[in-house]
Structure formats: structure tokens, C-alpha cells
Structure 1
């Protein structure tokens, strides 16, 4: 696998403080974002298991927040904007240490054709895999009924749901892949020379990705773990996070706007 991150910046005392600083930084960023979500998701799964079988329960991803149109719109918009703050934070942290995250992580538009081709391919692959895992999970009673969105249909519903899809794609791929892999290599320099260590990093990131989806049941947790492995490997292979953002955006946008249609198209009406 090729390296996508330059050697870590060393502090005046030889680097020990620098590595500790990055470790604390990662911990704080995760506690403010997806690490926090993982803790809550595990607790929600435990609560679900104590109440009733998972097959008898449901989970809504994008929930309507108010019966009043103006307030629902305001809540939806603010939810997406505030959720993007951790993404802004990690971009700022990299700029603070003298790096350009957009170029370093491939979060730019330098290769639109290649990025969209790879992103679209991933969308098809992961999308089909998601349907298989969801159907199997529902059949085995390991997955709750997933309702991607119950937002009331207004003129602004589709744009707001597309913004939510963009928010999820940026939050997860920038933090869980680009940022986490960057900081991990600064904390553990041996990642630059050890294939086994790189795979351990991929698996750790994928496991966390799966963990914060466990509120939907074991099926989505496993499915997102596999997705995390594929995305992590591709990022290390090509050094660009933009295809992952594109694929994730397409997955969530399709789920939010056309989930019933997709299930019906594949003969999975019974899962609605």
C-alpha cells in the first residue's frame, strides 16, 4: 500500500510530546463526533435487546423534528450545519499544523472523472451489498426495520435531505478515513512500513464505523464494518477521500429519497 501522509512533525524534545498531542487530539475529535455516536449506539442496541426482539422494532435515521413547517425546516438545517462542525475542526487542525487537508486527503476536484467513476462503482457495489445484508438481517431477526426518513413532504424536503446526505458523507469519510488515518500515522510511525499494522488500522476504523450503526441492529453494524474495510483499503490504495464521499452521498441520498422504490424494484416489498 502506498503512503498518503508525509512524515510526522516532530516537537523540540524529539517527538514524544508531539505523538501524545496527536493522540489526545484524536480522542477529543472522536468524543465530539463519531466516537460519541458509537457509545450511544451500543447503549441503544443494549436497550433494544432488553425491550423486545429486534425484528419487532424500527429505527428512523432522519427524523422530523416538529409538526410546524418552519421549525421542522430550521431544526433540519441546523442539525446538518452543526454536525459539520467536527469536519471543519479537523480541517482547521491540519491547516494549523501547516498542511493543506484538501490536497493531502484528496478532498478536492482535481480528478472529477476518476473520482466520480470510482464513487459510482462503489455506490453500486455497496448499495447491492447493503440490500443483501439488510434482507438477511431482517430475515434472521438481527436488524430493526429501518426508516431512512420520516420528514414531512414540503417543497424544501428534498434539498434538506440531500444536505443531510452530504453531511453524513463528509462527517464519516473525512473523520473516519482521511483524518483518522493521517493522525494514526503520526502517532505510530511504524504504519509507514508495516502492512500488518496498516490492516490493523483499517479494521479499527471499520469496527468503529460499524459500532455507531449498531442502533439499527447487528446487520447494519456488520455491513458498515465491511464497507469501512473496503473504503479504508481504497483510500490507502489511491490516496483520495473524494470518491468515498461521493459514494456515501449517493447511498444516503438514494436511501432518503427513494428507499421504498429501491426495495420494490428488487422485490423486497415485504421489508417495508
Structure 2
């Protein structure tokens, strides 16, 4: 099936068309603005401000370090853990809101989580596809990150900076899953469904989604923008072709786990990290 086709009973099956759908389009478009304003669109605005700060700070981008997953209270492990659990709970919350909003405009009797590929009916195949996707995206992505730093368009990204505790690695995994669930549910399934219901062409929806994804990674530098925009477009195309969201969430989670845990384990031993 071509990327522009539809998956029977899948992510492109929307509410009934005609006059009712036409009347709903402005409301659905406004809804997407609101969802983005409280999650990833908000992050995009702050990332733009962050890159402006870095560009006017003085040193070249590749001489600056961007830290993520910092400890809040490293001297009090129990409170640090509580902060991290709260952070990642609220990080993933907009994905639940997006699913609820899809429910409100889906055909009666339809299950939107099944239609967007978020059901558990193909767990084994979805997991395997996610592993393949993670390798296909992650290996070129790592090479591009090294290149972007070498040419000076990206900062050094310090991805794992939690204090070392027995719960540190599980919290990295939780953070990775929260990121994957939020980004793939909102940026792929929710936005592409909504924008299709608003009458957008598939190519335009994919382009805007990819650019937003890239923009909220601008805090890392222009390499982060380019790499994540390309990843976003690839994820959108995969979902339109297959109708399965779980492989994208699995792939995203694996990529972030490798990034967070790998940095924490290797940054003192590998010079380019």
C-alpha cells in the first residue's frame, strides 16, 4: 500500500463526512493548537528561545553542552526519585488527552486506540518492528550527531545526568517510554488524524509534524533539529503505511534508553560523548 493510501479501519477512518465534518473542521484545528500549546508546541517555543540563547552566548555550538535528565535533589535520593516520577507522569499525560479527544469525534462503536495501532493485538510483531526501526534510525542518527558536532552545528548533548542510585536505570527507561508515548501519539497519530479530518493533504500534515518535532529539539542545536525532523517524517510515513503506532513507540523508547543509559555509562570513557 502506498504511503498516501489508507489502512482499512485504521488511522484514516474518521468521523462521518459531509456538512457535519465541514462544520467541525475549525473546532478540530483549534483543538490541535490547544494540545500543542500545553505540550510539544510549548517545548518548541522554548527550544527556539534556547537556541537563540546559545547562539548569542559566545562559544561555538560544538563547544557548549546541553544537559538533560538532571537530578533535582541529588543529596536526597527519595525526593529526587519522587521528582523524576512526577516529571515523567506529567510528561506523558497529553498522550492520554489526545486519545480522549480522538474518542470524542470517532464513529460510535469504534475504538480509536485500535484504529491508530495502539492495541495489543500484534505485540510480538510490533516489538520486532520497533527493534528494526530503532536500528534503522539510531545508527545513521548517531553518525549524523557526530558529524553535526564536528561541523559545529550541534552542542554536546549530555543525555544521562541522574545521580547514581539503584533506581537510576529504571527511571531512564521510564523517561524514554514517556517520551516515546507522548511524541508518537501526539505528533503522529493524533495530529495526522486531526489534520486529515480538517482537510489537510497528507504531505502537508507530515511536513508540519516533522518540522514541529525538529523545532522542539533545537535546544540541542541545528543538528538536533535536522535529525529529528527527518525522523519525524519517517515515523509519519511508517504509520500511514502500516497503521501501527506501537512499533514507533518501541523504537523511540529504545533509542532514548540507549542514549540515556549509554551516556551515563560511557561518557567518561569515550571522548566524543
- TM-score w.r.t. structure 1 length? 0.90
- The answer as to 2:87 corresponding to 1:92 is no
Q: Within 1, Cα distance between the matches of 2:266 and 2:251?
A: 17
- The answer as to 2:67 corresponding to 1:64 is no
Q: Within 2, Cα distance between the matches of 1:107 and 1:144?
A: 35
Cα RMSD after superposing both structures: 1.9
Q: Secondary structure at the match of 2:193?
A: helix
- Out of 108, 122, 126, the residue aligned to residue 115 of structure 1 is 126
Unaligned stretches of 5+ residues in structure 1: 192-196
Q: Secondary structure at the match of 1:62?
A: coil
Q: Within 2, Cα distance between the matches of 1:9 and 1:93?
A: 16
- Out of 37, 46, 54, the residue aligned to residue 43 of structure 2 is 37
Q: 1:76 maps to what in 2?
A: 84
The 5 A counterparts of 1:1-272 are 1-3=4-6, 4-9=11-16, 14-52=20-58, 53-67=60-74, 68-98=76-106, 99-188=110-199, 191=200, 197-259=201-263, 269-272=270-273
Unaligned stretches of 5+ residues in structure 2: none
Q: Is the 8 A contact 1:58 1:145 kept in 2?
A: yes
Q: 1:194 maps to what in 2?
A: none
- TM-score w.r.t. structure 2 length? 0.90
Q: Within 2, Cα distance between the matches of 1:64 and 1:203?
A: 35
Q: Secondary structure at the match of 2:66?
A: strand
Q: Within 1, Cα distance between the matches of 2:133 and 2:122?
A: 16
User: CA distance change for structure 1 residues 263 and 199 in 2, over 3 Å: closer, same or farther?
Assistant: farther
User: CA distance change for structure 1 residues 260 and 70 in 2, over 3 Å: closer, same or farther?
Assistant: closer
Q: CA deviation at 1:146?
A: 0.5
Q: Within 2, Cα distance between the matches of 1:140 and 1:55?
A: 8
Q: Is the 8 A contact 1:9 1:18 kept in 2?
A: no
